[in-house]
Each structure stands twice: as C-alpha cells, then as structure tokens.
Structure 1
Amino acid sequence: MKTNLITREGFELLQKELTHLWKVERPETTKKVSWAASLGDRSENADYQYNKKRLREIDRRVRYLTKRLEDIKVIDYNPQQAGKVFFGAWVELENEDGEQLKFKIVGPDEIFGRNDYISIDSPMARALLKKEIDDEAVVSTPSGEKYWTVLTINY
C-alpha cells in the first residue's frame, strides 16, 4: 500500500505533467490520429496504430494523475521537525564500514528517475523516522540487519 503523502515540489511536478499531457501532448496526438485515419486503411497504417496507442497511454496517465492528485496530501516543512528525521528530510548516513549515503525521504510518487530520493514506505526511511544526529538506525535487509548512523539532517 502506498502512503498518500507528497512534498510540495513533487505535487507541483505531477500537476505540471498533467497539464502538459492534457493541453499539449493529447491535442497533438489527436491531430496525428485524425490525419493518419484520413489516409485510408487503418489496419496497415503504422502512424495510426502508433498514435492511437500513444493516445491510450496519455489518457491512462491523465486518469491516474487526476485521481492521485485528489488522494494525496501535501506535506510542507514545519519548524518543529528541525533536528529529527521526518518526511521531506535530506539525510546523510554512514554505516560501520564507512559507506555513506545521502537521500531525501519523499512520497512514492516522487522516487522515479531519482537516485537520491527514497520512499517513505521503504524499510530505510521507516527505520530513520524520528532519529536525530548521531542516532543509530537498524535497517532489516534480506542479508540481515544493517546499522546506520545519522550524520546530517536538512530540510
């Protein structure tokens, strides 16, 4: 189950994507489908078939984004969060082997295409919630428990 939380930045990106799909890509693709359909035999018309498929993909994504934007809750930074790990925090960690990680804890809709974001639903994020600098977090992994120390927290 996905957590219905998102940062303000992530919410604006999803809105921007929805607007672009609805006002730019969909009208362009609809014109291409109409043009390709006017050429005649649709069964062997690659332009028609491709653009019709693309139109279905756009419509599917528009439906998903419209529903998702209604369901999610935007979480803004609150000064009471200072010094502790909560949603929206940039966290820097180090394990016992000296390996370091730095990432931002965000909603599941924001992690795609980003290597420096992790979902609030991940085991790492769950283990870090409410931790402070120099606290140790125990993360359960398939290869056993891993211990990470919080180095920095920024919002």
Structure 2
Amino acid sequence: MKPTRPLHEGPPITPAGFAVLRARYDHLLGTERPQIVEVVSWAAGNGDRSENGDYLYGRKRMREIDRELAHLARRMKALRVVDPAGQQDQSRCWFGATVTIADEDDNHRTVTLVGDDEQDAGKGMIGWSAPMTRALRGAAVGDLRRVVLPGGDKEWEVISIEYPVKG
C-alpha cells in the first residue's frame, strides 16, 4: 500500500495562485473541451476521417487538453495553499513576503516570494525554489544575503518586508 503524504507537505502556493490554476482547469473542462468534442463529432459525421482536417486537428487538440487537465489535477492535488497574511513571524522573509532589497550600488528591487507555479519574474514574483528566494528565506530587515546567480555572486541588503493584511 502506498503511504499517504501528510496534509502539511507539498510545494506552497498562494490562494490567488491556486485560484488561477483552478480557473484554467475549469475553463478547459467546461468550455474548451466540450467545444472540441462538438467539432470532432460533427467532423466524424462528414465521412472519410483520414483526410478530414477538422477531425484530425480536433482529436489532436482534445489529447492536448486532456494532458493539460491531468497535469493541472496532479499539481492542484500536490500543492499546499498558504495564506501569506497568516504568517506568524512577519519580521522575516518567508513565503508570501514582499521584500525590497538593495544591491551594492544601491539599486532597489521589490520581489514577492510565491510558489513556483505562479512565478513571473517580469512582475517581480519569484518562485519559492529560485536562488534569490532561497537566499532571502529567514532574512530580517538589515540582513545582507549573497545570491549565487549565473552571472556571478551578488550581495543584497533587505530594506523592507511586507505581508498582505488579513481580511
């Protein structure tokens, strides 16, 4: 018998990040897949399927949708939703913190530590397993942290730490 994983384990994700995954799953299952099933059914009724582009494309797209649905279902089951507003120690950098850091040249950067499934570097959302996040975990305001990046090491000072307000 396969051992079950305790509920508290698993990669973290914010409630907003989980809602995005859930919305994608619901859209695929409730909108896109039924539309493709309808196209495939219509195309199958048109006779020779070997040269029927609508049928062939529809079947291919249905397989893609089914693969994505299975992937999303596995991810949502494995993830652990963590509300950053409920973080006990808000004086340090933990999951969900929005952190302002400054490098040696006093260039400021603000990043939010989020789950790997919701990371978007362009929006300043850094994944939980990224090198920057690993370096910042547990840091307090005023701490210096060295980040090992592909372009070389860089040192950052934590300027401020903020968490969302409960509500």
Return the TM-score normalized by structure 2.
0.83
1: distance between equivalents of 2:133 and 2:152? 17
Partner of 2:98: 90
Post-superposition offset of 1:22: 0.8
Partner of 1:31: 38
Counterpart residue identity of residue 140, structure 1: V
Matches within 5 A, 1:66-105: 66-77=73-84, 78-105=86-113
- For structure 1, the 5+ residue unaligned runs are none
- For structure 2, the 5+ residue unaligned runs are 1-9
Detail structure 1 runs of 4+ shifted over 4 Å in the superposition.
Answer: none
Counterpart residue identity of residue 60, structure 2: K
CA offsets per residue over residues 34-53 of structure 1, 9 Å max, x none? 11222222222222222211
- Aligned CA distance change for structure 1 residues 10 and 141 (closer, same or farther; 3 Å): same
2: distance between equivalents of 1:113 and 1:95? 17
Partner of 1:22: 29
- Percentage identity across paired residues of the two chains: 40
Post-superposition offset of 1:74: 0.8
Partner of 1:42: 49
1: distance between equivalents of 2:156 and 2:66? 43
Return the TM-score normalized by structure 1.
0.89
Partner of 1:53: 60
Root-mean-square deviation over aligned CA pairs: 1.8
Counterpart residue identity of residue 103, structure 2: N
**Within the alignment, does 1:147 sit opposite 2:155 as a pair?**
yes
Aligned residues: 153
Q: Secondary structure at the match of 1:102?
A: strand
